[in-house]
Every structure is written in structure tokens, then in C-alpha cells.
A and B are shown apart, each in its own frame.
Chain A
Amino acid sequence: MKTVKLEVFGPEPPCVRCQAVKKNAEEATKKLKQKGIDVILSKQKINSRQTVSKYGVLVSPALAINDVIRFMGRIPSPDEIEKEILKTI
């Protein structure tokens, strides 16, 4: 089984648009599971030392696939997220 790391970045407390991204990411995760791809989804704080030293200044909401920021400042649909994850494999 292949595994992919998916990180959603948003402020604490979470904003509406970041929650929308997280929901779409969860949906994509479910679909990919049926295709035999294991997605490890996590929510990261966007303005933490860890995030900034790794990626720099991000605009919320942001989404990273395997340590690469792919979406920033917009809400990708579950299909879009799924498509991008499939590309990385």
C-alpha cells in the first residue's frame, strides 16, 4: 500500500475556508483509500515556527502533498486534490 502525506495549513482557531479545505481533503482521502492509497492527513498551524521555517510565509488556506505546497489561498475540490495526489505517485 502506498502512503501519501497530506497537510492542511490554517490559523488557530480555524477559519471557514480552511475547514472547507480540510473537508475536501478528507473526502479525497476516503476515495483514495478505495483505490489502495493510504493518505495521512494532518492539520498544521499556519503561523507556527515549524511551518514557517519549512515553507516560509503561507497564505491560508494552504495544502501540501508530500512536503510540497500545491494549493494556497483557494479551496481545491476533492477531485482536484485526488488528481494531484495521483500525479505524485
Chain B
Amino acid sequence: MEFNRIIRTIILVIFIGVIFYLLIDSRIRAYSLAPTLTQADMSGLVWYEIPVHYMWDYALHGWICLLFAFVLAGLFYEFVPKEFLTKYMSSKKASGYLIGIIMAPFFTVCSCTMVPIFGSIMYAGAGIGPAITFLLMAPAANILSVVVTGEMIGWDIAIIRILVSIVTALVAGIFISRTSWGKSIEKKFSSESSKNIKGKVELVKPQIDERLWSSIKFSGFLAKKILPYFILGLIAVSYVQAYLPEDVVAVYLTGITGILLASVIGGPLYTPTLVEIALGKVLLTLGMSKAALLSWLMGQPYDIPNMVAVSRIVKWKVVINYAIIALFSSIFFGMLYGIFLGII
């Protein structure tokens, strides 16, 4: 029995090690993990050949990056101490903001897990500020999208994306917690906290091989959930790559117009499936400015399904306010980045 455990642990560690090695190896050999087809390569293809060629290109280059991202997301999700959230998100202190920022990126899951946690934080009495910060931080800077952004587009953009998401999430959280309507919602949630039987949280600590296995199972779960949409999205992206004229991109997706347009369409078009990164990458190669790309990638907090789900817990007023803050912040930081790069 013990022997089997050791063998299983070794196999799982080797599996994870190989994936890490593949990524490092691609770095050393300067092998591009992003697709390499250009518009010129695709010009001779018939319409139905375009997605096939594009997806083949993605499969050849992107699989290491995607595999690594999913495995890493699974590992983090499994090994991040979840009791931490229970322990520290229950009191009304400034530390709630910090915990929100630190913990949220590791919960690489869709709004179906995030939104209930948001509701729970409200009931726990941590206040509306940390709850909003947590909610905005999770989709904007989760491990999966940061790794894919970093590997496919560039680590400069990925790191800026994290920093800017922290600022946006903090500003939105602090702003809403200071308003009178924000406070009244907070009161509605925290009042009449019934003092019934207190439960305890004493988690079972499973063996290391079981934890590794369950982390890989979670990676599989994420992949099963995200990849079908990602593949569908890639079909659409392949046509953008093949047919969108560079002149159009040059006119509409550069300069200040580019930032404004990228901010406005980035949100509603956002799908929590990494497609926004693939599309962003294509638009970048077609000539979109890096500043507009940042605004584009920051569009997540105001995607529509997420907003609808949150509005069932708190009033629309809160949702609209944080969406507006996120929109302005994506425009603001896009501009700032543009000025920094000297392209505006």
C-alpha cells in the first residue's frame, strides 16, 4: 500500500516535471509557443481550409503553453490553502483587501465559483469593498490567463496586466465601500447575523499522491470546460487573421481611438475562455498598438454573464458602478501605457 503511494507520487511528479521542462526547453531554444502563420501565408487558402491550417499551427506551437497553464492552474488550486479564505475573509478589516488580491488569482475558475464566494464574503461581514476587490481580481489576473498571455503575447504585457488589475480592483472596492448606497447594502447583509450553532472547519489532509492526482483532475476539468469554447473561438480568430485588412486595424486599433474602441468592445466580447488572448495576439500581429491591447485585455470585469450573476446578489447599482470604474480604468491605463511607450 505504502509502496504503491510512493510509485504513484513519483509518476505524477515526473509528469509535472516533464511539462515544466518542455516549457523551459522551448524558452532556451527560442521556440515560439504562439502560432506563426501570417496573413500572407493564408492568402492562398480556400475558406474552409483556413481554420484547419490555423488550428494545426496552434496545435504545433500552443500545446506546450496550454498544457503548462492548465497544469499550473490545477496545482495552485489544489495547494493554495483554502481555509485561509475562511479564516481571514470573515472580519471587517483592511486586510480583507489584501487577502482578496492575493487569493483571487489562484481561484482559476469561472464565475460559477467566484460569484458564490462573493456572496459569502458579503454575508461574512468583511464588507462590500473586499468583496468587490476579490470579484474583480479573480477573472482579471488568474493564473491561467496570465500564463497564456505571458507565453503567447509577452511577459511585459502579462505583468502590467496584473499590476493594473490590482489597482482597478482596489479602486472599485474602496470607492463603492465609501458611498452611502454601498454602505446600506453592506448593512443589509451584515445585520441580524444569527448566532446559532457554530460549525468548525477542520479539513482532512490527504496524502501527497492524492493531492497531486486531484490537482491534475482539476486541470482536466478546467480543460474540458474551456477548450471546446477555445477551439470554437479559434475558428473565428482564424478568419480574422486571414481576412481583416491591416489598414482597418491601423486606422481603428491604434492611437487613442484604438484604446477607446478596445476598452468598449473588450468587455462585452470577453469570454472566460482564453479566446480574448488569441484574438488579441492576432490583432497585435495585424498592427494593433500595445496600449490598445492592454485595454482590450483589461475588459474582463464587465463581461455580461458575470454582471448578470452578480446582480442577483447585490443591486444593479453596484454592478454598473464597478463596470464603469473598470471601463475607465482600462481606458486610463491604456492611455498611460501608450504615453509610456511614446505612441500617443
Binding site for B on A (CB under 8 A): 11, 15-17, 46-60, 64, 67-76, 80, 84
B29 at the binding interface (Cβ < 8 Å): no
**Do A47 and B204 have beta carbons less than 8 Å apart?**
no
Residue among A69, A74, A84 with most chain B CB within 10 A = A74
**Do A15 and B112 have beta carbons less than 8 Å apart?**
yes
| B119 cross-chain contacts in A, Cβ below 8 A | 47
Number of interface residues of B (CB under 8 A): 42
In the assembled complex, the CB of A27 is this many whole angstroms from the nearest CB of chain B, namely 17
CA distance A80 to B211 in the complex (A): 13
CA distance A30 to B300 in the complex (A): 44
| B85 cross-chain contacts in A, Cβ below 8 A | 57, 59
Q: A11-B115, A70-B204, A72-B83 are in contact. Are A49 and B198 (CB under 8 A)?
A: no
**Do B197 and A56 have beta carbons less than 8 Å apart?**
no
B256 at the binding interface (Cβ < 8 Å): no
**Do A64 and B199 have beta carbons less than 8 Å apart?**
yes
In the assembled complex, the CB of A37 is this many whole angstroms from the nearest CB of chain B, namely 18
CA distance A67 to B202 in the complex (A): 10
Residue among B89, B117, B193, B206 with most chain A CB within 10 A = B117
CA distance A56 to B217 in the complex (A): 27
B78 at the binding interface (Cβ < 8 Å): yes
**Do B121 and A17 have beta carbons less than 8 Å apart?**
no
**Do A68 and B117 have beta carbons less than 8 Å apart?**
no
In the assembled complex, the CB of B67 is this many whole angstroms from the nearest CB of chain A, namely 21
**Do A49 and B194 have beta carbons less than 8 Å apart?**
yes
In the assembled complex, the CB of B256 is this many whole angstroms from the nearest CB of chain A, namely 41
Binding site for A on B (CB under 8 A): 77-78, 82-83, 85-87, 89-90, 107, 112-113, 115-121, 123-124, 126, 189, 192-204, 206, 214, 217-218, 221, 313
**Do A49 and B113 have beta carbons less than 8 Å apart?**
no
**Do B116 and A46 have beta carbons less than 8 Å apart?**
yes
A to B CB contacts below 8 Å, 8 in the list: A46-B116, A47-B116, A51-B123, A52-B123, A54-B199, A56-B86, A56-B124, A71-B204
**Do A73 and B82 have beta carbons less than 8 Å apart?**
yes
**Do B120 and A57 have beta carbons less than 8 Å apart?**
yes
**Do B196 and A57 have beta carbons less than 8 Å apart?**
no
| B83 cross-chain contacts in A, Cβ below 8 A | 72
Partner of B201, one of A17, A48, A55: A55
CA distance A48 to B120 in the complex (A): 7
Q: A56-B87, A57-B89, A57-B121 are in contact. Are A73 and B198 (CB under 8 A)?
A: no
| B116 cross-chain contacts in A, Cβ below 8 A | 11, 46-47, 60
A72: nearest chain-B partner, CB-CB: B82
**Do A67 and B199 have beta carbons less than 8 Å apart?**
yes
**Do A47 and B117 have beta carbons less than 8 Å apart?**
yes
A55: nearest chain-B partner, CB-CB: B199
In the assembled complex, the CB of B68 is this many whole angstroms from the nearest CB of chain A, namely 22
Residue among A16, A48, A73 with most chain B CB within 10 A = A73
**Do A54 and B196 have beta carbons less than 8 Å apart?**
yes
CA distance A17 to B192 in the complex (A): 32
**Do B203 and A71 have beta carbons less than 8 Å apart?**
yes
In the assembled complex, the CB of A13 is this many whole angstroms from the nearest CB of chain B, namely 9
**Do A56 and B201 have beta carbons less than 8 Å apart?**
yes
| B117 cross-chain contacts in A, Cβ below 8 A | 47, 57, 59-60
**Do A49 and B112 have beta carbons less than 8 Å apart?**
no
| A57 cross-chain contacts in B, Cβ below 8 A | 85-86, 89-90, 117, 120-121, 124, 126
Partner of A56, one of B90, B189, B195: B90
**Do B197 and A55 have beta carbons less than 8 Å apart?**
no
**Do B200 and A67 have beta carbons less than 8 Å apart?**
yes
